[in-house]
């Protein structure tokens, strides 16, 4: 299946489930990009969940986001319980313009939803010539070190830096947990176990059972330091944006609860506002990493997946094809 077919199918299924074109198109594009980069956990796998959430009201498929600009370098978007993607699209041009004018600007979203692969939004800022620093929180799934009750979500952050050719030199995209929760959901669906060190069960014991993990908590990457990264994201994406706290947000999977009402924060920095020679110094930094045997820049695997997908296309396994109504 080609990427155009991926996007078209996703768009049709979302609109069949009740999304307007305004809501469906940016989400379909995000599914296309996830499949392009080989991140299946955020691609077609999520489409049935999106459709379910449109049907049960966790996402308002007819929402119309609203943007305000309370200060010169501050952009605020209310996603109105719709998908995050159209709300991001609404505020993105203003965010970039504000960063070019002020040197740095930030955009927050509230009453939002899962924004897909965070690194794609950071990369988009890099393509506009900005350093993109992005944060999104999620329903609580990580407990503080030494505790059992989840307080923060997997809370990813992403950094993308521009190159001199209108692209991103590299994209760093990682969650506060050892692995994204969607990877556990994927293995639960396939009936596969998860590696030790990914999660704890509801009693706080290590588990390799993905279903037990989904009822328990994800382990933070690096222990207390990983929880600290997640806490930083919580402050920017939830507290600063005025979104619901991770501990009060409904799950991104399953029909339980109302709209998650989570939030995001996007920071755009124009390197030209600070010092000359940014791309030269960045290239030297990248070379110090890539020049070593066995080392690679963040995002290298996704770039390799893009090249494979451009040749091989996207292949669906039988179960996912059935869930999408293709078999």
Distance, CA of 314 to CA of 263 (rounded, Å)? 31
Distances (CA, A) of 283 to 163, 167, 251, 296: 8, 13, 41, 14
Distance, CA of 100 to CA of 149 (rounded, Å)? 43
Distance, CA of 114 to CA of 26 (rounded, Å)? 13
**If you count them, how many residues does the chain have?**
327
Q: Are strands 74-78 and 104-112 parallel, antiparallel or unpaired?
A: parallel
Return all residues near 91 (Cβ < 8 A) that are at least 6 apart. 65, 67, 75, 76, 77, 107, 109
Distance of CA 175 to the CA centre of its chain: 9
Is 250 catalytic? The answer is: no
DSSP state of 144: P
| Phi (first) and psi of residue 71, to 5 degrees | -140, 170
- The catalytic position among 183, 221, 234, 238 is 183
- The catalytic position among 41, 102, 193, 253 is 41
Strand order in the sheet with 206-207: 206-207, 199-200, 217-218
Q: Which residue is listed with tokens 């820049």?
A: 297
Cα maximum dimension of the chain: 56
Contact between 316 and 324 (Cβ < 8 Å): yes
- The catalytic position among 7, 11, 35, 42 is 42
Is 290 catalytic? The answer is: no
Distance, CA of 305 to CA of 44 (rounded, Å)? 16
Please report, to the nearest 10 degrees, the dihedral formed by the alpha carbons of residues 242, 247, 249, 251 taken in order.
Answer: 150
Distance, CA of 264 to CA of 129 (rounded, Å)? 21
Contact between 38 and 302 (Cβ < 8 Å): yes
Is 177 catalytic? The answer is: no
Catalytic residues: 41-42, 183
């Amino acid at each position: 299946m080609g990427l155009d077919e991926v996007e078209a199918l996703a768009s049709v299924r979302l609109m069949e489930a009740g999304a307007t074109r305004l809501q469906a198109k940016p989400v379909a594009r995000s599914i296309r990009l996830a499949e392009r980069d080989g991140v299946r956990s955020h691609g077609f796998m999520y489409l049935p969940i999106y459709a379910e959430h449109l049907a049960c009201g966790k996402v308002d498929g007819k929402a119309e986001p609203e943007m305000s600009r309370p200060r010169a370098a501050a952009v605020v978007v209310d996603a109105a319980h719709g998908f995050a993607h159209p709300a991001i699209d609404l505020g993105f041009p203003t965010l970039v313009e504000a960063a070019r004018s002020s040197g740095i600007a930030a955009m927050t979203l509230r009453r939002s939803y899962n924004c897909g692969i965070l690194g794609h939004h950071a990369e988009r800022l890099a393509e506009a010539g900005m350093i993109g620093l992005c944060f999104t929180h999620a329903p609580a799934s990580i407990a503080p070190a030494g505790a059992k009750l989840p307080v923060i979500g997997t809370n990813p952050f992403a950094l993308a830096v521009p190159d001199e050719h209108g692209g991103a030199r590299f994209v760093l995209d990682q969650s506060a947990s050892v692995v994204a929760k969607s990877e556990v959901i994927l293995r639960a669906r396939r009936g596969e176990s998860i590696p030790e060190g990914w999660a704890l069960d509801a009693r706080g014991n290590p588990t390799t059972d993905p279903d037990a993990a989904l009822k328990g908590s994800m382990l933070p990457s690096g222990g207390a330091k990983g929880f600290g990264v997640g806490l930083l994201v919580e402050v920017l994406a939830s507290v600063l944006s005025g979104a619901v706290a991770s501990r009060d947000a409904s799950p991104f999977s399953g029909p339980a609860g109302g709209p998650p009402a989570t939030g995001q924060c996007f920071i755009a920095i124009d390197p030209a506002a600070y010092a000359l020679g940014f791309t030269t110094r960045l290239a030297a930094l990248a070379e110090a990493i890539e020049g070593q045997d066995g080392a690679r820049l963040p995002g290298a695997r996704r770039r390799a997946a893009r090249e494979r997908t451009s040749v091989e296309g996207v292949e669906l396994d039988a179960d996912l094809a059935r869930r999408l109504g293709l078999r």
